[in-house]
Amino acid sequence: MSLSRRQLFGLSGGVVAGVALGACGVALTAPGGSTGAVLPSEVPLPKPFTTDLPPLATARTRPLRGGGRKGTLTTRRRGTEILPGRTTEIAGYDGTFPGPLLEATKGEPLHLTLRNELDHPVVNHLHGGVTPPRDDGYPTDLVGPGTSRVYRYPLRQRAATLWYHDHTMDLTGPNVYAGLAGGFVLRDPAEEDLGLPRQERELTLVLTDRSFGEDAQLLYPMTEHGIERRYHGGLLGDCMLVNGAPWPRTDVDAARYRVRVLNACNARRLELALDPGGEIVQVGTDQGLLTRPHRRRSLTLAPAERADVVIDFSAYRVGQQVTLVNRLGDGDMGLVMRFDVARRGKDDSRVPERLSVIDPIDPSRVVRTRDFHLALGKPMPSGHGSHSGGDRSLPMWSINGQPYRPGHDLFTAELGTVERWRITTDVHHPVHAHLVHFQVEQDGAPAWKDTVDVGPASRAEVLVPIEGYRGRYVMHCHNLEHEDRMMMADWSVV
Ligand SMILES: [Cu+2]
């Protein structure tokens, strides 16, 4: 969600990269606040609300000797029905799109074996996880085809809606687009007493936009030199998928539902609202529960951001259709899915006014303030180590003027300290750091996030406790086309 006004300041006279990009003929900003260009599908798309919302597959886990759980995911290709009556080949975890929902309990480690049956290397990253560097999914820490490895997630962190996805150097965009992304719900038994809706009244919605070729296959505009120039600012699909189904519908009771929403789009921002109107009660962010519920009419999610919300369908009459819309989308992309209020239902859930405790960080604890500028940089210098490079006449996305160089730290931070990070931008960039979490102020209260949506020519400021583990991590833009074109940096905890 967008940061509060106190944390966002327009930069007067800021450099607008549209000018720079216009000069090289690259579409940058699509209508509606997403960075990127829409790739039109070549096949007729289904009418919205003609498919049913599929349940997410769930990953089975087993007890781990010594405590915790273990499970296995296998990356593989599989034909699946996304468009009615057509077969689309995806390359996903266990051959599903999106990947199976992983569930774990705070403080209980999960050892996840990843078996790679694809014909190319993959990397797994638990987004929002506090994970030692060897298991965090560094972009060149590859799991080769036909091999497997175990990722050990300690999960000593707040309960939250996390997600897992591919993080392969230069190829995260196409790999996630092909299917390598899934939801991960980290639960805390202490939250059960809050009385929030649960079980069949808790939904996880994984939102992705995709485009399809005339053969109904996923279209990703890769050339041998990287992504086509037109999509250098981000790839926007023209078919909205929820849990892998195009503009689905589902029956709901006239009762409260807890809905965990993940924007897993490569580049598309979403502003979610209900039609014919109604309240969305936000109870959590990327990193778990807020201190108190925030009642809102709409909710903006940039790529990789999550929101935990409660929707009370008893505010509508039985028989009414409630559409989840995206105010930033055009045409059918202005629609997401539909809830059909099918029946009355007994409801003993509640949304308490006190959800969690978040101690605001005392700014006097800040030992260092860092500035990060995310902007279009220069074309990649020849001799740069990256094998992607892509179209070398195009500028690369950069952080502080540097295209990503694996193995070279942009900065080091000291374990146990608190830093202030100030981020400025040219166009929209959702900024994500591995390992650490950002304390922001949202609606007058502290909240935890791992991805911040920083608007065009804007400035954001976050407080960052350096907690967890020593070693090398990355920070990057979560517009995946920006990330693959070098908007990433190494940093180390010492
Ligand atoms: Cu970006």
CA of 254 to the centre of ligand 1 (A): 40
Hey, CA dihedral for 245, 143, 388, 482, is it positive or negative? positive
- The strand pair at 256-263 and 306-312 is best described as antiparallel
The pLDDT value recorded for residue 381 is 63
Q: Tell me what pLDDT residue 392 has.
A: 64
Q: Say how far apart CA 220 and CA 223 lie, in whole Å.
A: 9
Alpha-carbon gap, residue 450 to 455, rounded angstroms: 16
Peptide bond connecting 98 to the previous residue in cis, omega within 30 degrees of 0: yes
Taking the centre of ligand 1 as the mean of its atom positions, its distance from the CA of residue 475, in whole angstroms, is 11
> Strand pairing of 321-326 and 335-344?
antiparallel
Q: How many CB atoms lie within 10 A of CB 369?
A: 10
Q: How far apart are CA 347 and CA 344, in angstroms?
A: 9
| Ligand 1 center from residue 453 Cα (angstroms) | 10
How far away, in angstroms, is 429 Cα from ligand 1 center? 4
Q: How far apart are CA 8 and CA 428, in angstroms?
A: 13
Contact (CB, 8 A) for 358 and 446: yes
If you measure from the C-alpha of residue 189 to the centroid of ligand 1, how many angstroms do you get, rounded to a whole number? Answer: 36
Distance in Å, CA 415 to ligand 1 centroid: 27
pLDDT at 390: 55
Strand partners, 440: 447
Q: What's the 486 CA to ligand 1 centre distance in angstroms? A: 10
Kindly give the distance from the C-alpha atom of residue 91 to the centroid of ligand 1, in angstroms, as a whole number.
25
Q: Which of 194, 207, 332 is nearest to 259 (CA)?
A: 207
Give the separation between CA 337 and CA 326, rounded to whole angstroms. 10
Specify burial of residue 74 (Cβ count, 10 A radius: 0-12, 13-18, 19+). Answer: middle
289 CA to middle of ligand 1, Å? 27
**Interval between CA 399 and ligand 1 midpoint (Å):** 10
Domains of the chain as residue ranges with CATH? 5-32+43-190 (2.60.40.420)
pLDDT for residue 484: 95
Measured in Å, residue 47 CA sits from the centre of ligand 1 at 32
- Cis ω for the linkage preceding 221 (within 30 of 0): no
- d(CA 487, ligand 1 centre) in Å: 7
Label residues 292-326 b or e (16+ Cβ within 10 Å = b).
ebbebeebbbbbbbbbbbbbbbeebeeeeebbbbb
| Inter-CA distances, 462 with 437, 439, 450, Å | 9, 6, 10
Q: How far is the CA of 489 from the centre of ligand 1 (A)?
A: 13
- pLDDT tens for the 494 residues of the chain, in order: 444 333 332 222 222 333 233 333 344 555 556 789 999 999 999 999 999 999 999 999 999 999 999 999 999 999 999 999 999 999 999 999 999 999 999 999 999 999 999 999 999 999 999 999 999 999 999 999 999 999 999 999 999 999 999 999 999 999 999 999 999 999 999 999 999 999 999 999 999 999 999 999 999 999 887 889 899 999 999 999 999 999 999 999 999 999 999 999 999 999 999 999 999 999 999 999 999 999 999 999 999 999 999 999 999 999 999 999 999 999 999 999 999 999 999 999 999 999 999 999 999 999 999 999 999 987 766 655 444 545 667 789 999 999 999 999 999 999 999 999 999 999 999 999 999 999 999 999 999 999 999 999 999 999 999 999 999 999 999 999 999 999 999 999 99
**Ligand 1 midpoint to CA 267 (Å):** 8
The predicted structure's pLDDT at residue 378: 78
The two three-digit tokens of residue 338, written as one number = 């539909």
Sign of the C-alpha dihedral, residues 306, 308, 313, 316? negative
> Which pTM was predicted?
0.93
What per-residue string of b and e applies to 136-171 under the rule 16 or more CB within 10 Å gives b? bbbbebbbeeeeebebbbbbebbbbbbbbbbbbbbb
Angstrom distances, CA of residue 407 to CA of 166, 395, 411, 486, 492: 19, 22, 12, 13, 10
Predicted local distance difference test score (pLDDT) of residue 142: 98
Q: Which residues contact 274 (CB under 8 A, 6 or more apart)?
A: 280, 311, 322, 323, 324, 325
Question: How close is the Cα of 476 to the center of ligand 1, in Å?
Answer: 8
Contact between residue 271 and residue 298 where contact means Cβ atoms under 8 Å apart: yes
